[in-house]
Amino acid sequence: MKKLVRFGISMEQDLLDTFDHLISHKGYSNRSEAIRDIVREKLVEENTSLPNEHIYAALVYIYDHHKRNLEKSLSSLQHEFYQNIISTIHVHVDHDSCLEVILLQGKAEVIKTLAEKLLSFKGVQHGKLTITTSEKSSHKHTHTHHHKA
Ligand code: NI
């Protein structure tokens, strides 16, 4: 485990009250853990805003499967970006709708382009791209993963 460093934070009372209220609703047991998560969130947001950053992402969307040619377009787009796609999950939601989740990795600008193209197709009713990156992503080039057997 990494060494923890203690430091003091000054804040207006009402801002702190609002913060405490928010984090207790979110289930945090102390301020330190909440602040660590906020800092990590901000760092991921900053990193993934760089176009060349290697990111991981999940694109979730619902579409109307009766829409003419839509499934063909969705499939063509996924083949176009096959190198970035880790996996696709398809769920038949009801008679009319399908849900898909595409797990992605690659350069941030490529992933965002794919998502924008896909979500703009007629018949894709709602969708969202969620992006993350590992804390070590800036050391990616020298970093190797060791999986326990
Ligand atoms: Ni389906």
For ligand 1, a single-atom ion, the residues with CB < 5 A are 92, 98
Is the residue at 145 inside a domain?
A: no
Distance CA 54, CA 104 (A): 10
Residue 59 sits in a domain whose CATH number is 3.30.70.1150
Segment 94-102 shows an average pLDDT of 97
**pLDDT tens digit string along 15-45?**
999 999 999 999 999 999 999 999 999 998 8
In the structure, what pLDDT confidence band is assigned to residue 48 with cuts at 50, 70 and 90? confident
Structural domain of 80: 54-132
Segment 121-137 shows an average pLDDT of 89
Q: Do residue 127 and residue 79 come from a single domain?
A: yes
pLDDT at 112 over 60: yes
Q: Do residue 87 and residue 33 come from a single domain?
A: no
pLDDT > 90 fraction of the chain, expressed in percent and rounded: 82
Pairing, β 85-92 against β 124-132: unpaired
Q: What is the distance in A from the centroid of ligand 1 to the CA of 31? A: 44
Q: What is the distance in A from the centroid of ligand 1 to the CA of 106? A: 27
In the structure, what pLDDT confidence band is assigned to residue 137 with cuts at 50, 70 and 90? low
Q: What is the distance in A from the centroid of ligand 1 to the CA of 105? A: 24
pLDDT at 58 over 90: yes
Q: Do residue 39 and residue 69 come from a single domain?
A: no
Segment 7-13 shows an average pLDDT of 94
Per-residue DSSP letter, 83: G
Helix ranges (H only) for the chain are 13-26, 31-48, 70-80, 108-119
Is the residue at 7 inside a domain?
A: no
Q: What is the distance in A from the centroid of ligand 1 to the CA of 69? A: 14
Segment 65-71 shows an average pLDDT of 94
Closest CA to 134 of 144, 123, 125, 148: 144
Is the residue at 139 inside a domain?
A: no
Number of domains in the chain: 2
Are residues 89 and 100 in contact, defined by beta-carbon separation less than 8 angstroms? yes
Q: What is the distance in A from the centroid of ligand 1 to the CA of 71? A: 10
Give the pLDDT score at 139: 44
Q: What is the distance in A from the centroid of ligand 1 to the CA of 96? A: 8
